[in-house]
C-alpha cells in the first residue's frame, strides 16, 4: 500500500461517524422445521447470525445490539463471542442482547433495543437481519456513505427479477425516497415497481428513536413496520435515500430450500475468490469451502475436496481429490490425498505428505515427513523427514484418556505397526514392520516385536482334509 492509499484509509477512519448496528434475530423460523433457531443454521460452515455479526465488525461498528427471541441460548452464546477489542478477530467493542417476546413487526423488534438506542445521541445506526448471510461490506458501503453525507434515513434496495411479496421503494421527483409500500398495501401501479426493499436500513442516530416511536400499525397486518420511518422522515422535512445492491446480496433465508440457495451462492463466490487469489481448482463446482478458509498462491485443488471451518493452506500445496479437511494448518509445499482426512488440530509442516486413506487428528507432521498410506495418526508429533509406513496406528485412547505419541526426526516406522501411547520414538530409529511398541525407543535404535517364525510342514493340507470330511459327513446326514 502506497502512502496515498494509507492516508486515504486513515482519513476515512478519522472522519467517519461512530456506528451502531442493530441485528434482528428473534425469528424461530418454523419453516426450517428445526429445534434450532433459524439464524443458527449454517452457510459455509458458519451460522448465518455469525456472518452478520462478522459484517458488523468489518464495518467498524463500535456497538452492536442483537434482538433475539425467548429460549435462544445458542444465539446468545454466539453473540457474546463477538464482544471484545481483539483486532485480529471479528470483535465488536460493545455487544448487548435484547429480547423480543412478542412479534409485532420490524419497528417493534428494533424498539426492543430502546435502552441502547437512547444512549446513542450521534453517529449512525444500521439495522441488519440475522438471516441474510450473503450481505457484504461492498454492498452496504453506499448506504453508509449516504448517511455520512447527511441523509437521515437510508434504505438498501435491489432490482427484483420477480418483485412479488416485496415492499416497493417509491422515489420522488428529486430522486429521494418518498415511501416504502408493502405489497398488501400497494396499489396496482405501485406493484409494477421492481425496485424493492431489502429490509436493511440506516438512520441518523439523533432522529431515529423519535421516528420509530411515531410508527403506527394502521396497515393490512396490524404490525409496526420499520419501513414507515421513511414517510415519517419525509413528513418532518428529513432526507431519505435509497442505495442499490445485487438481489443475491440480500437473500433472506426462511426455509431449507433458501438455505441451500444461499449456500450455492456462497460457494460460487468462495470458488471465484480462491481462483482469483492464485489457486487452481480443477473442477470448481465439486470443491466446497468454509467461510474462514485461507488459501495461498499456486495451490492446486483436485475435484471433490471439502473444507470445514478453520483451515489455513500455504503456498504451493497440492490437495488431491476426495479429501476432507477441517481445523487444519497446512504449510507450503505439502501434499494431501487423495482420500485423506485431516481433522481438527492437524498441522502439516513444509513439504509434508499425507496420502491416500490416512487420517490425521491433533497431530504435528514435521517438515518433509511422510504418512502415505492407510494410516491413523492422532495426538502425536512426527519429526522432520520421518517416514510412517502403511497401516501404522498411534493407539492414543485407552477408553478413558488420550495419550501422546512422539516420533523423532528421520525415524522409519515399518508397515502395520501399532504405537501404544504414551510412547516416544527417538530420532533416526527404525521400527520393524508388524511391531507393537509399548515402550520408548532410543535414538538410532531398531525395535522389533514380531514373534519368531514357525513352519509346520503339511499342516494346511491336513487341516483342509479334516474339515472336508466333517463337511461331507454333515451333508450325508442331511440327505
Residues with a catalytic annotation lie at 373
Dist. CA 354–CA 330, nearest whole Å = 11
Q: How far is CA 351 from the centre of its chain?
A: 27
Looking at the chain, the number of H-run helices and the number of E-run strands are 11, 36
Dist. CA 350–CA 367, nearest whole Å = 5
Contact 434, 414 (CB under 8 A): yes
Dist. CA 353–CA 330, nearest whole Å = 10
Contact 389, 416 (CB under 8 A): yes
Look at the block and give the residue holding cell 396497515. Answer: 219
Look at the block and give the residue holding cell 419525509. Answer: 234
Cα 142 to Cα 53, 58, 155, 242, distances in angstroms: 19, 15, 10, 9
Name the residue among 45, 24, 33 with its Cα closest to residue 252.
24
Q: What is the CA angle 328-331-332, rounded to 5?
A: 145
Catalogue the long-range contacts made by 181-186 (C-beta closer than 8 Å, 24 or more residues apart).
Answer: 182/219, 182/220, 182/221, 182/225, 182/227, 184/219, 184/220, 184/221, 185/219, 185/220
Please, which residues have CB within 8 angstroms of residue 270's CB and are 6 or more apart in sequence? 44, 289, 293
Amino acid at each position: 500500500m502506497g502512502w496515498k492509499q494509507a492516508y486515504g484509509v486513515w482519513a476515512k477512519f478519522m472522519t467517519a461517524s461512530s456506528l451502531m448496528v442493530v441485528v434482528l434475530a428473534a425469528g424461530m423460523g418454523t419453516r426450517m422445521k428445526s429445534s434450532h433457531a433459524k439464524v443458527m443454521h449454517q452457510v459455509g460452515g458458519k451460522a448465518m447470525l455469525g456472518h452478520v455479526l462478522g459484517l458488523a465488525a468489518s464495518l467498524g461498528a463500535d456497538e452492536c445490539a442483537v434482538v433475539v427471541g425467548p429460549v435462544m441460548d445458542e444465539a446468545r452464546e454466539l453473540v457474546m463471542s463477538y464482544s471484545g477489542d481483539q483486532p485480529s478477530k471479528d470483535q465488536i467493542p460493545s455487544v448487548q442482547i435484547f429480547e423480543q417476546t412478542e412479534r409485532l413487526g420490524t419497528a417493534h423488534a428494533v424498539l426492543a433495543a430502546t435502552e441502547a438506542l437512547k444512549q446513542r445521541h450521534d453517529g449512525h445506526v444500521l439495522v441488519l437481519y440475522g438471516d441474510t448471510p450473503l450481505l457484504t461490506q461492498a454492498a452496504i458501503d453506499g448506504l453508509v456513505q449516504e448517511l455520512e453525507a447527511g441523509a437521515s434515513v437510508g434504505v438498501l434496495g435491489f432490482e427484483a427479477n420477480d418483485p412479488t411479496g416485496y415492499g416497493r421503494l417509491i422515489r420522488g421527483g428529486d430522486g429521494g425516497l418518498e415511501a416504502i409500500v408493502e405489497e398488501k398495501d400497494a396499489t396496482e401501479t405501485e406493484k409494477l415497481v421492481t425496485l424493492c426493499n431489502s429490509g436493511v436500513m440506516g438512520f441518523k442516530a439523533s432522529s431515529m428513536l423519535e421516528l420509530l416511536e411515531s410508527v403506527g400499525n394502521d396497515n393490512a397486518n396490524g404490525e409496526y413496520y420499520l419501513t414507515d420511518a421513511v414517510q415519517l422522515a419525509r413528513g418532518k422535512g428529513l432526507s431519505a435515500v435509497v442505495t442499490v445492491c445485487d438481489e443475491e446480496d440480500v437473500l433472506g433465508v426462511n426455509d431449507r430450500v433458501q438455505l441451500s440457495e444461499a449456500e450455492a451462492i456462497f460457494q460460487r463466490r468462495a470458488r471465484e475468490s480462491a481462483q482469483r487469489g492464485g489457486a487452481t481448482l480443477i473442477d470448481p463446482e465439486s470443491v466446497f469451502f468454509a467461510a474462514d478458509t485461507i488459501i495461498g498462491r499456486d495451490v492446486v485443488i483436485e475435484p471433490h475436496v471439502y473444507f470445514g471451518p478453520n483451515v489455513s493452506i500455504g503456498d504451493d500445496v497440492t490437495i488431491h481429490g476426495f479429501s476432507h479437511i477441517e481445523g487444519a494448518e497446512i504449510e507450503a509445499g505439502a501434499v494431501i490425498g487423495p482420500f485423506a482426512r485431516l481433522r481438527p488440530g492437524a498441522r502439516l509442516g513444509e513439504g509434508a505428505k499425507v496420502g491416500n486413506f490416512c487420517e490425521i487428528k491433533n497431530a504435528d507432521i514435521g517438515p518433509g515427513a511422510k504418512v502415505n498410506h492407510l494410516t491413523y495418526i492422532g495426538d502425536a508429533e512426527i519429526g522432520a523427514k520421518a517416514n510412517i509406513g502403511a497401516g501404522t496406528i498411534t493407539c492414543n485412547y485407552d477408553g478413558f484418556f488420550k495419550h501422546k505419541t512422539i516420533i523423532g526426526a528421520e525415524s522409519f516406522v515399518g508397515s502395520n505397526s501399532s504405537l501404544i501411547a504414551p510412547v516416544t520414538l527417538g530420532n533416526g530409529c527404525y521400527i520393524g514392520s508388524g511391531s507393537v511398541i509399548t515402550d520408548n525407543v532410543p535414538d538410532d535404535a531398531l525395535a522389533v516385536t514380531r514373534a519368531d517364525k514357525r513352519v509346520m510342514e503339511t499342516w494346511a493340507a491336513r487341516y483342509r482334509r479334516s474339515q472336508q470330511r466333517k463337511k461331507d459327513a454333515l451333508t450325508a446326514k442331511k440327505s
